[in-house]
């Protein structure tokens, strides 16, 4: 009998590749604190209760070594969890952490689509001389063939280099200026969600390093996640910067998103 998978919360407290302001390394433990604070219950909108759910667990944080590259630390440690049939809901960290996570995912998911929610397309070949900057992860993902299809929504910052990269890599990048879409995208095969909190409008999520007005509402993002038409097998929530938050607005939203993404991953 095939053993049922688990869904594990994995903290990735790393912001060395934040190109503007540090802070996202503080996010995982703060989101956990909100989740256990009693300010919200453990029921998810899709009908799963995370409390006492044997499929849902906390895996703790990735350990970062001084000697090894961050890619190696995240890749090797997340691979072990995937080998143990545990799907990951990772908490960043800046957006550079998604690349090694997807590298590990690709080992176990020969077919993989990515839904990437972000104000930015994060396709820079290099940013301020750093090819691993938080502005670059999806250029690395596409170069290394880590997904079959990359769909982006929430985008509202494209420059000419980013547009070139979009056509070079065949990315389906939906800009906010064209929102809402006339026809919603559908997937064929498993989906990995990479959720940069700055994809959501700063009116709902002020706790980010790169506040970009004109984004998605929190309700829109939750509905989009609920309606993913194929199994959601992995996710990350990145770029929440507690130093920029106002009265816990963004940490509360991040905690709500953890619940709703976990509920969706458990419903597969």
122 near Mn ion, rule: CB under 5 A: yes
Residue 41's Cβ-count burial label (10 Å; 0-12, 13-18, 19+) is: exposed
User: Which residue number, 57 or 71, has a Cβ lying nearer to Mn ion?
Assistant: 71
What tokens appear for 14 in the block?
A: 């790393």
236 near Mn ion, rule: CB under 5 A: no
Q: Which residues in 65-104 contact Mn ion (CB under 5 A)?
A: 95
120 near Mn ion, rule: CB under 5 A: yes
Candidates 54-62, 99-107, 121-129, 158-166; binding stretch for Mn ion (CB under 5 A): 121-129
Candidates 35-43, 148-156, 196-204, 248-256; binding stretch for Mn ion (CB under 5 A): 196-204
244 near Mn ion, rule: CB under 5 A: no
- For residue 121, the minimal CB distance to Mn ion (Å) is 8
Residue 5's Cβ-count burial label (10 Å; 0-12, 13-18, 19+) is: middle
Question: Phi first, then psi: what are they for 255, rounded to 5°?
Answer: -65, -40
- Sheet strands side by side (includes 6-12): 56-61, 6-12, 86-92, 232-238, 191-196, 113-117, 149-155, 172-175
Mask for 147-186, x = binds Mn ion (CB under 5 A): ----------------------------------------
198 near Mn ion, rule: CB under 5 A: yes
Contacting residue, 17, 87, 101, 118, with Mn ion by CB under 5 A: 118
Count residues near Mn ion (CB under 5 A). Answer: 7
| Residue 234, H or E segment | strand 232-238
Pairwise CA distance, residues 215 & 213, whole Å: 6
What tokens appear for 62 in the block?
A: 């990735």
Instruction: Say what angle helices 249-266 and 27-35 make with each other, to 10 degrees.
Output: 80
User: Which residue number, 15 or 118, has a Cβ lying nearer to Mn ion?
Assistant: 118
- For residue 53, the minimal CB distance to Mn ion (Å) is 30
Contacting residue, 15, 196, 220, 245, with Mn ion by CB under 5 A: 196
Give the SS3 label for residue 164: helix
The residues that touch Mn ion, with contacts defined as CB under 5 A, are: 95, 118-120, 122, 196, 198
């Amino acid at each position: 009998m095939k053993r049922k998978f688990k869904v594990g919360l994995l903290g990735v407290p790393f912001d060395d590749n934040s190109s503007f302001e540090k802070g996202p390394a503080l996010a995982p433990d703060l989101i956990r604190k909100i989740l256990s604070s009693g300010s919200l219950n453990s029921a998810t909108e899709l009908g799963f209760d995370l409390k006492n759910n044997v499929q849902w667990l906390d895996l703790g944080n990735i350990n970062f070594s001084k000697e090894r590259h961050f890619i190696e630390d995240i890749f090797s440690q997340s691979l072990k969890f995937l080998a143990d049939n545990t799907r990951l809901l990772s908490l960043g960290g800046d957006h550079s952490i998604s690349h090694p996570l997807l590298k590990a995912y690709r080992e176990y998911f020969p077919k993989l689509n990515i839904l990437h929610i972000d104000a930015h397309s994060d396709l820079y070949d290099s940013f301020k001389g750093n090819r691993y900057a938080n502005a670059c992860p999806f250029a690395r993902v596409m170069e290394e063939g880590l997904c079959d299809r990359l769909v982006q929504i929430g985008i509202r910052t494209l420059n000419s280099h980013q547009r070139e990269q979009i056509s070079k890599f065949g990315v389906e990048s939906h800009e906010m200026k064209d929102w809402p879409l006339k026809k919603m995208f559908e997937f064929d095969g498993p989906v990995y969600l990479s959720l940069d909190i700055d994809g959501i409008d700063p009116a709902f999520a002020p706790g980010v390093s790169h506040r970009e007005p004109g984004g998605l509402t929190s309700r829109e993002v939750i509905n989009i996640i609920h309606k993913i038409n194929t199994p959601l097998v992995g996710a990350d929530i990145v770029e929440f910067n507690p130093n920029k938050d106002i009265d816990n607005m963004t940490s509360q939203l991040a905690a709500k998103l953890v619940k709703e993404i976990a509920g969706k991953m458990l419903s597969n």
